[in-house]
Structure formats: C-alpha cells, structure tokens
C-alpha cells in the first residue's frame, strides 16, 4: 500500500550554494558541509494493506521528514514513493492533489481551524473537493459518531480537550475516505490516559475500515499498543525492521536494545553492571537476558535447568508484558554453575525457544 524505494532527502541550508560546494553527496565525515543535512538516506519501506506500521527513532533521526515524504509534503531529493499503486513522485501537481485525497494525515498539535466548529473542521476537505452541503452532512455525521463526538458538532476547538481535538482531526483525515492514514506523533501532546483512548480509536479504525496506518513516534508504548510492525530510524537510515512481538523479544540493533531497555526498565542492578566483564574467565558465570513467549511462558524452565543442567538460576529482575495478543516473559538472571554446565544451560534454553542474550560475566566469588 505504501512503498518507499531508495528515498533520500537532503536539506540545503542558507548559505549553501547547490552544486558549488564540491561535497554534494559526499559521505558524512570531517569534510561534510554543515549546511547540507542528509535527513533521509536510501530509505526502503513497504507497508502492506491493513498494516499499522510504526517508525521509531530519537529526536532528529528523520521521522518527520520520512512521513512527510509519503504524501510529498516534502519532496524526496531522490527515490520513488508509491501509495495505493500510484507513484506519487511521478505525478504533476493536479494529479498529486487528487492522489492526496487517498492519504489522510494527523499531527501532534491537531492543526484544527479555530474559527470553525467541529462539524465544519471535518467538512473542510469535502468543501474543497466541491461536495454539496447535503452530501457533506451525510459523510460527516457518521464520522463524528465513529470518533465519539456526535454531541460536539457545534463546539469550537477552544472548548475541546486535547484528546477531543485529536478525534476531530482523525474524523477530518477520514473525510475523504483515504486508504492510508499518516500519524505524525499523534499522541505526543496527550496525557497517558488520553493517549490510550486515541490509540484504541486508531486500532478500531484500522480494524473497521481496513485502513493502512503509518505512524512515527518516539514512544515505545505506542509501538507496543497498536503497531503490527516497527522500523527503527537512526541518522536518516532505517536500521532495523521487525514484527512488533519479535522486536520486543529480541531487537537486533544496539539502538533497538536501548529503546527496549529504557521502556521496560529491565537492567541488571547498577552494582552488578559495574562488575560485568565482557569475556568469560575461569571463575565467572554468565548474566543473561531471557525473553520468551508462547508455551515457554508457562513452562517451568528454571527448575528444569537446575535438574537437567545442574545450574542454579538467580533471578535479578523479571516481568511479563502483553504485546497485543502475545504474552512475553523477560528476565535478567545469573546462571550459576561450572562453565560447561552454564553453556549447556544456554543451549537448553535456546532449544526451548527462549531468546538468550549474554550481557556479560561476573566473578563467582565476588
């Protein structure tokens, strides 16, 4: 439904004269011109119909640029953008405006018109499309019901809460019956409870209307609550992409692990971190992070480790998370035993579908 192929976006800041700096396209490094910002670098992204896809990254990573390239609010410097089978990067302005009717967008700060009431805010895109007042009413009324604001049609934005404003923005984004909804940090200005209700609404819309949703966020809670798939962006590049359950079980990049550890607050105690050594020694035992889902959650693996591998397990931290339909167990533990026994224990865990990450090794008698 959404396909970005080799998309790059470079901003040339004031003072830079394109084509004369001599380092256009130069790899970033000591000679890179600070007036040239490579906000996106060769991004490939595919979001199939009906998927909720989250892009997460730190501030300045390129999230906003990425989502704005999808409806060409920002025109990519290179690469192609295809939405619903139509290559937008190849369209002239008139055709692009038509194509944009199939792409709704919501923003962090809602972007409502303060001098229009709720009904008229939602009606605006339809007015611009030239629809009659009667047809507009027929379209807007059920949308206000869908977002739970049927009784607020005559209110002005100033008298609405943040969550209600975002509901109006969602109804407005849906007015032209888009196939795709882009969400630019849509819950970042909302408190946790309101965030939850807006995410539930987005999930509901995805389900009821089969709408494909691409969202950008810096909040793992958003990814955990509604995304099917997640991409990580760092310094303009997509560095990791995974199903959300797999990402929470075993992120593949350092950035992914940092996001996850920050979110889960599942780190070994500080005193232990200070004693962790990277390589095993003669008298060390491993400290591991275990992630398990499915049947493994309810299997008494820890007692079996003791019985079958002769290894004692000292649990330092543990939690169970629900990632949509999936239950995920996470644990930080020391495996105490002889080197050959702890190695066998790790093998045993891996063959029982646990993801094992060795965080380091500590001296046995320390």
Residue of 8, 10, 64, 155 that binds ligand ATP (CB under 6 A): 64
Closest to 214 in 3D by CA, of 175, 238, 241, 184 = 184
Residue of 1, 4, 52, 65 that binds ligand ATP (CB under 6 A): 65
Q: Which helix (H) or strand (E) holds 336?
A: strand 326-336
Does the protein bind ligand ATP through residue 61 (CB under 6 A)? yes
Residues 239-278 that bind ligand ATP (CB under 6 A): none
Choose the binding region for ligand ATP from 56-64, 197-205, 258-266, 314-322 (rule: CB under 6 A).
Answer: 56-64
Does the protein bind ligand ATP through residue 59 (CB under 6 A)? yes
Does the protein bind ligand ATP through residue 217 (CB under 6 A)? no
Does the protein bind ligand ATP through residue 60 (CB under 6 A)? yes
Does the protein bind ligand ATP through residue 53 (CB under 6 A)? no
The CA-atom distances, in angstroms, between 74 and each of 62, 66, 78, 89 are 12, 8, 12, 11
Shortest distance, CB of residue 183 to ligand ATP, whole angstroms? 13
Q: What is the 3-state secondary structure (H, E, C) of 256-312?
A: HHHHHHHHHCCCCCHHHHHHCECCCCCCEEEEEEEEEEHHHHHCCHHHHHHHHHCCE
Adjacent-strand bridge partners of 87: 82
Size of the site for ligand ATP (CB under 6 A): 13
* Spatial distance between the Cα atoms of 296 and 283, rounded to a whole number of angstroms: 30
Q: What is the DSSP letter of 28?
A: S
Measured from the CB atom, the residue of 75 and 254 that comes closer to ligand ATP is 75
Q: Which helix (H) or strand (E) holds 244?
A: helix 244-249
**Using CB under 6 A as the criterion, what x/- string covers residues 273-312 for binding ligand ATP?**
----------------------------------------
Choose the binding region for ligand ATP from 54-62, 75-83, 297-305, 308-316 (rule: CB under 6 A).
Answer: 54-62
Q: Which two tokens stand for residue 335?
A: 């495996």
Does the protein bind ligand ATP through residue 13 (CB under 6 A)? yes
List of residues contacting ligand ATP (CB under 6 A) = 11, 13, 37, 39, 57, 59-65, 218
């Amino acid at each position: 439904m959404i396909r970005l192929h080799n998309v790059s976006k470079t901003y040339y800041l004031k003072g830079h004269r394109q084509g004369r700096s001599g380092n256009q396209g130069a790899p970033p490094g000591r000679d890179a011109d600070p007036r040239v910002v490579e906000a996106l670098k060769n991004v490939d992204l595919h979001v199939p119909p009906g998927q909720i896809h989250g892009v997460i990254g730190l501030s300045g990573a390129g999230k906003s640029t990425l989502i704005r390239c999808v409806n060409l609010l920002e025109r990519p410097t290179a690469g192609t953008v295809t939405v619903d089978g139509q290559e937008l990067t190849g369209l002239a302005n008139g055709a692009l405006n038509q194509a944009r009717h199939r792409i709704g967008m919501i923003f962090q700060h809602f972007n409502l018109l303060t001098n229009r009431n709720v009904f008229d805010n939602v009606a605006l895109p339809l007015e611009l499309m030239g629809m009659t007042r009667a047809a507009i009413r027929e379209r807007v009324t059920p949308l206000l019901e869908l977002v739970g604001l049927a009784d607020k049609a005559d209110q002005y934005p100033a008298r609405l809460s943040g969550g209600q404003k975002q509901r109006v923005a969602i109804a407005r984004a849906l007015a032209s019956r888009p196939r795709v909804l882009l969400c630019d940090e849509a819950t970042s200005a909302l408190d946790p409870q309101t965030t939850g209700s807006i995410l539930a609404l987005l999930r509901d819309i995805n389900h009821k209307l089969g709408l494909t949703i691409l969202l950008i966020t810096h909040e793992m809670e958003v990814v955990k609550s509604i995304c099917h798939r997640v991409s990580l962006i760092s310094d303009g590049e997509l560095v990791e992409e995974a199903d959300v359950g797999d990402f929470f079980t075993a992120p593949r990049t350092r950035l992914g692990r940092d996001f996850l550890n920050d979110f889960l607050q599942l780190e070994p105690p500080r005193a232990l971190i200070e004693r962790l050594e990277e390589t095993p020694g003669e008298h060390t035992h491993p400290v591991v992070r275990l992630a398990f889902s499915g049947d493994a959650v309810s299997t008494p693996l820890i007692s079996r480790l003791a019985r079958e591998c002769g290894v004692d397990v000292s649990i330092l931290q543990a939690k169970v998370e629900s990632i949509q339909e999936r239950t995920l167990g996470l644990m930080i533990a020391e495996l105490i035993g002889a080197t050959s026994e702890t190695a066998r224990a790790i093998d045993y865990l891996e063959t029982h579908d646990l993801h094992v990450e060795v965080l380091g090794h500590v001296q046995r008698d320390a």
